[in-house]
Amino acid sequence: MNILNNWKTLELITREGERLVCIEGRVYGTNPRFPSSSHIRTSPLTGHRFESNSMVVMTKRGSEYLLGKPDPAETFAQQRLMRRLSRLSQQAPSGFNELESQLTGYVEGQKDRTAKES
């Protein structure tokens, strides 16, 4: 598994307004795509887990990275990353616009009254 050191979190917003969380850092490992100590940006993160007291993040492309030491300028980096990931999982599904949806409740009797008025 690749290890990311000197990492920091990036929060990106697409043209459609979707929030994505990526990580930039120096990658170390045996993956031939990345020479050791290459600076990379991951694809958007989809989740995380803890393994041997270290955080492992999963990406949209199916990669997994063990997070090593964060960028020294990023205080509480792991806690902020976890907060951002939890906000992502709470977002409304794509295609649903909560500002356009005004229905907050529907009473079954309302259907009968509406039918009589028509």
Structure confidence by residue, pLDDT tens digits, 52-88? 889 999 999 999 999 999 999 988 998 999 888 888 7
Question: Is the pLDDT score of 114 beyond 60?
Answer: no
More confident residue, 66 or 103: 66
More confident residue, 93 or 18: 18
Answer yes or no: is 114 within a domain.
Answer: no
Answer yes or no: is 98 within a domain.
Answer: no
Structure confidence by residue, pLDDT tens digits, 19-54? 899 999 999 987 777 777 889 999 999 989 999 889
Amino acid at 118: S
Question: Is the pLDDT score of 101 beyond 60?
Answer: no
> Model confidence at 116, in pLDDT bands (50, 70, 90)?
low
Domain total of the chain: 1
Answer yes or no: is 31 within a domain.
Answer: yes
Q: What is the pLDDT of residue 60?
A: 92
Domain range enclosing 63: 2-90
Answer yes or no: is 105 within a domain.
Answer: no
Task: Give the residue-averaged pLDDT of 96-111.
Answer: 47
Answer yes or no: is 111 within a domain.
Answer: no
16 strand-pairing partners? none
Answer yes or no: is 95 within a domain.
Answer: no
Answer yes or no: is 100 within a domain.
Answer: no
Answer yes or no: is 117 within a domain.
Answer: no
